[in-house]
A and B are shown apart, each in its own frame.
Chain A
Amino acid sequence: EAGVTQFPSHSVIEKGQTVTLRCDPISGHDNLYWYRRVMGKEIKFLLHFVKESKQDESGMPNNRFLAERTGGTYSTLKVQPAELEDSGVYFCASSQGQQATYGYTFGSGTRLTVV
């Protein structure tokens, strides 16, 4: 079974540019999550999809971030325009059930550097 796939693995962009991160969850997993780790800080929840619907996006930092999950399969996270403080590692995870009590399968992450 393929795991959660994220790409690109690294992205370096200039402040003000746009970047789109992609996540392919494990096949059959309805639940998809985005998390972010800013250097030296905790991994923070961003949002949660159930199929194509946003269940909760309370962790999204501001309206420069837009997440989509067309058709309930892969998801994209767009940052437009990017700012320096957006630098960090963006993780995607997926699960069959919603309960946080079981843990999730995470991808390798996308390391975003905004210069």
Chain B
Amino acid sequence: GNSVTQMEGPVTLSEEAFLTINCTYTATGYPSLFWYVQYPGEGLQLLLKATKADDKGSNKGFEATYRKETTSFHLEKGSVQVSDSAVYFCALGLSNSGYALNFGKGTSLLVTP
């Protein structure tokens, strides 16, 4: 079946530290991959996406590269800010599933000043 595994949190970092949140997937086909973010008190927001192998999604200083050979889509940011504190969800979508996204469990990130 289709599934997403992401690293367990919570992750606590100091401001300006480097961030990596690991995400690996299993899919019967060629998925699109997403990172969603949920800031405190807000809804899920699409942070970035990649629709084919070797694509790099980027937004707000975050990046993730679609690695087919390692079935991974790790999220990275070179210098985190306090405002990046949120829960991050890795997800996949398959065109042959039409509509349903498969999510990971989410990784809580806390950035301290």
State whether B89 touches A91 (Cβ < 8 A).
no
A67-115, CB < 8 A from B: 91, 93, 98-109
Tell me the A52-69 residues at the B interface (CB within 8 Å).
Answer: 55-56, 59
> A interface, how many residues as a size bin?
20 to 34
Known: A91-B43, A99-B95, A109-B43. A104 touches B100 (CB 8 A): no
Other-chain residue from A4, A44, A55, A106 in contact with B99 (beta carbon distance below 8 A):
A55
Would B93 and A100 count as touching, CB distance under 8 A?
Answer: yes
Complex Cα spacing A42 to B105, Å: 4
Closest chain B residue to A55, Cβ basis = B99
- Some 20 contacts from A to B, beta carbons below 8 A apart, are A35-B101, A42-B106, A43-B103, A43-B106, A45-B101, A45-B102, A91-B44, A98-B98, A99-B93, A100-B95, A101-B31, A101-B51, A101-B94, A102-B93, A103-B32, A103-B93, A105-B46, A106-B36, A106-B44, A106-B45
- Interface bracket on B: 20 to 34
Determine the distance from Cα of A102 to Cα of B95 in the docked complex, in whole angstroms.
9
Q: A41-B105, A99-B93, A102-B32 are known contacts; what are 5 more A-B pairs with Cβ within 8 Å?
A: A42-B106, A43-B101, A55-B98, A100-B101, A102-B49
